Amino acid sequence: MQGFITLIQAAVFFGTVIMFGCVGEIITEKAGNLNLGVPGIMYLGGIASLAGVFIYEGSTEHPNAAICVIIALVCAFVASALGGLVYAFLTITLRANQNVTGLTLTIFGSGVANFFGGSLNTLAGRFEQIVVPVTSSAFRATFAPLAGLGVIGKLFFSYGFMVYLAILLAVLAHRFLMHTRKGLNLRTVGENPQAADAAGINVTKNKYLAICIGAGISGFGGVYYVMDYIKGTWANDGSIEKLGWLAVALVIFATWKSLNAIWGAYLFGVLYWMYMYIPGLTRSSQVIFKMLPYVVTIIVLVVTSLKNSRDKQPPAALGLAYFREER
Amino acid sequence: MKQIQTEPLVRIVKKEDMPAWQKIAVRLSSILLALIVSAVVIYAITKYNPIMVYQTMISGAFGTKTRIWSTIKEMLMLSCIAIGLAPAFRMRFWNIGAEGQVLVGGIVTAGCMIYLKDLPAPILFVIMFAASMLAGALWAFLPALFKAKWNTNETLFTLMMNYVAIQLTSFAVAKWENPYGSNTVGVINQNTRAGWFPTILGTQYFMNVFLVLLLTVLMFVYLKYTKHGYEIAVVGESQNTARYAGINVSTVIIRTLLLSGAVCGLAGFIAVSGASHTISTSTAGGRGFTAIIVAWLSKFNTFTMLLISLLLAFLDSGAGEIASKCKLNDYASQMIIGIILFFILGSEFFINYRLIFRTKTKEVA
């Protein structure tokens, strides 16, 4: 039982990082843009929040926890959205290729983040290890009365607020995309930009907004990773990049529906950590288990394309640029 | 009633073919602009004189013989992968899976070096050569088959295959680790040098240079002057046209991807047998992704790939030098590469399109 609880908890921690990335990417892809810059964007979000609160916590004697959280989230959203803006400008206005631009954004984002992550203390003229204790504990604070409810408390209420924020955003994204006029417009842009344009929907504006807001949400994945998952420090080990690609995988697994992303993210977490709870595995067979999320995604991808059911397909115009002049 | 009708402020018009020198000028100025922006960024962070920074970069990349070779090695590696990607991209098949294809090529090469080290060198080389190509081709075959038969999204499929390959590499590392518990494979056959590229004309990298240059020429000819190359181009332009012309699209897709994967697998062979003599996830180390950008920017011209790879390799080793001089970490190079690629990507717009600004406002009665 104890093992089961820790597995679920590990899966929730893991899943929350990729859920943010995934929900942001779903919004982007629904507008017809495949942004392979998700890992880079999550890097940007993570490092921006860390840098922001590192400077703030270093500047005052008694940092205020609420202000720390706000600084972290705002910095991350702005930095990630700016990353998205660069991608949007290049792919929409300058008509560059989406895949190549996205990959470049990943290279750029991981460069920026690991560079500053590794040299933040040198640059700030402080030579201690980068830690942001106040912010990190604010992010990890649980709601004590509920968290103390035995097994239920451990399973459902032993997490920081961002776990619930991720679920909330996934639900809101679903509401927005499926049940509002603006969401319908956005989906039309992703399915058939010509028709959207003819119906008077501003394709460019919709794409820009979807990409920037989507990137901002993806960036929260980086914040959660830095502040909660590794407890307010920085590690140059490329984990965010791996998680970022898993977020892209999750979009496929969830068949572009953000509600599916909620349980899909936790399932990926379970699959990823399962090796810890299977007795008798050697170190090399553990590694094979970590393949599971990717293999499962491939299977989902193949099965959906075999079944060819219309509601499980990628947006029809995904990855294709739209130029009004070229009809 | 008077109505004022205005044209939009800016209109974008497709450009007729630009003279070659103008294209080169646009690209060079975009690189120059990017270097200026990077210099500003470097100055803002380090407060070092940017000119001096670029001097340091040049000495970091080309300062000594060892550095020159390490820059060339990097350049060859990027070119080789990009050459592998070229036919797939020409066909508009988004093979994002080069990273994985390189890794599986590297894994089987390392495996051959470990298990078959007692074979005579020529036979060992033939086996490694064939096995690495086969492994890479297999890794590309799966996505190609599903794309050809059921139109499964290849971008996402090949992307996922990368991570399967990365885990497979970790598996191989855990299995072959040496010394035990180090979690690295270490240099394979350090004493016997079995399966290492031989030293020819005084350099151990002769074979690397030779193989990659050979591939450059062969792929250029294949894409430009053969029937296969033509079929690839037609399928890339329009699958319907290809079908109408009697081209079997599925066959072309699968055949091209087998080739693409095989060359990427070969890159893994060159990386393991000809450079690092070990296997780890950094055998590919993100080059599979960088090479995608190289292949795309070169517009499938394999000779241009050599140039762009050289630029990136120079930036990589140059920025590493700055980083170590300034006690900053060497991810600075990735940041600068990112900035430069953004500029080059953006500059393509000015090659393909023309902006027309509003000249007059018409008044209509």
Q: What is the CATH number of the domain that holds A43?
A: 1.10.3470
Residue B51, Cβ neighbours under 10 Å: how many? 9
Q: Does A67 fall in a domain?
A: yes
Which residues from B are below 8 Å from A291, CB to CB?
163-164, 167-168
Predicted local confidence at residue B362, as pLDDT: 55
Q: Which residue of B has its CA nearest to A87?
A: B342
Q: Tell me which residue of B170, B177, B190, B195 sits closest to B115, measured CA to CA.
A: B195
Of A103, A111, A305, the CB nearest to B335: A111
Q: Given an 8 Å threshold on Cβ–Cβ distance, is A100 in contact with B349?
A: no
Averaged pLDDT score across all residues of chain B = 84
Predicted local confidence at residue A324, as pLDDT: 76
* pLDDT average, residue stretch B308-337: 80
* Interface contact A80, partner B, CB < 8 A: no
Q: Does A182 fall in a domain?
A: yes
Q: Which range is most confident: A86-90, B166-170, B301-305?
A: A86-90
Tens digit of pLDDT for each residue in A104-163? 999 999 989 988 887 776 666 665 667 777 788 888 777 767 766 777 777 777 788 889
Alpha-carbon span A276 to A264, nearest angstrom: 20
Q: Given an 8 Å threshold on Cβ–Cβ distance, is A115 in contact with B328?
A: yes
Whether B46 has a pLDDT exceeding 60, the answer reads: yes
Q: Tell me which residue of B136, B158, B138, B137 sits closest to B147, measured CA to CA.
A: B158
Q: Tell me which residue of B189, B212, B201, B204 sits closest to B109, measured CA to CA.
A: B189
What's the gap in Å between the CA of A146 and the closest CA on chain B?
38
Of B151, B336, B341, the CB nearest to A104: B341
Answer yes or no: are the C-beta atoms of A265 and A249 closer than 8 Å. Answer: no
* Interface contact A298, partner B, CB < 8 A: yes
Predicted local confidence at residue B4, as pLDDT: 60
Distance of CA A195 to the CA centre of its chain: 30
What's the gap in Å between the CA of A233 and the closest CA on chain B?
17
What's the gap in Å between the CA of B10 and the closest CA on chain A?
12
Predicted local confidence at residue A119, as pLDDT: 75
A161 lies in which domain range? 2-312
| Cβ neighbours of residue B343 closer than 8 Å, sequence gap 6 or more | B30, B31, B33, B34, B37
Considering only residues A82 and B334, tell me which one the structure prediction assigns the higher pLDDT: A82
Of B12, B151, B334, the CB nearest to A305: B151
Which of A51-65, B67-81, B168-182, B351-365 shows the lowest mean pLDDT across its residues?
Answer: B351-365
Tens digit of pLDDT for each residue in B235-272? 888 888 888 888 888 999 999 999 999 999 999 999 98
Tens digit of pLDDT for each residue in B183-234? 777 777 777 777 777 777 777 788 888 889 999 999 999 988 999 999 998 9
Residue type, position A110, single letter: S
Alpha-carbon span B256 to B89, nearest angstrom: 10
- Count interface pairs A-B at CB distance under 8 A: 160
Residue of A305, A318, A322 to mutate, testing the B interface (most B Cβ within 10 Å of its Cβ): A305
Three-class HEC string of chain B: CCEEECCCCEEEEECCCCCHHHHHHHHHHHHHHHHHHHHHHHHHHHCCCHHHHHHHHHHHHHCCHHHHHHHHHHHHHHHHHHHHHHHHHHCCCCCCCHHHHHHHHHHHHHHHHHHCCCCCHHHHHHHHHHHHHHHHHHHHHHHHHHHHHHCCCHHHHHHHHHHHHHHHHHHHHHHHCCCCCCCCCCCCCCCCCCCCCCCECCECCHHHHHHHHHHHHHHHHHHHHCHHHHHHHHHHHCHHHHHHCCCCHHHHHHHHHHHHHHHHHHHHHHHHHHHHCCCCHHHCCCHHHHHHHHHHHCCCCHHHHHHHHHHHHHHHHHHHHHHHHCCCCCCHHHHHHHHHHHHHHHHHHHHHEEEEECCCCEEEC
Predicted local confidence at residue A39, as pLDDT: 93
Which residues from A are below 8 Å from B170, CB to CB?
287, 290
Whether B363 has a pLDDT exceeding 60, the answer reads: no
Predicted local confidence at residue B328, as pLDDT: 67
Whether A76 has a pLDDT exceeding 80, the answer reads: yes
Number of domains, chain A = 1
Predicted local confidence at residue B82, as pLDDT: 94
Residue of A82, A106, A108, A295 to mutate, testing the B interface (most B Cβ within 10 Å of its Cβ): A108
Q: Tell me which residue of A178, A186, A160 sits closest to A20, measured CA to CA.
A: A160
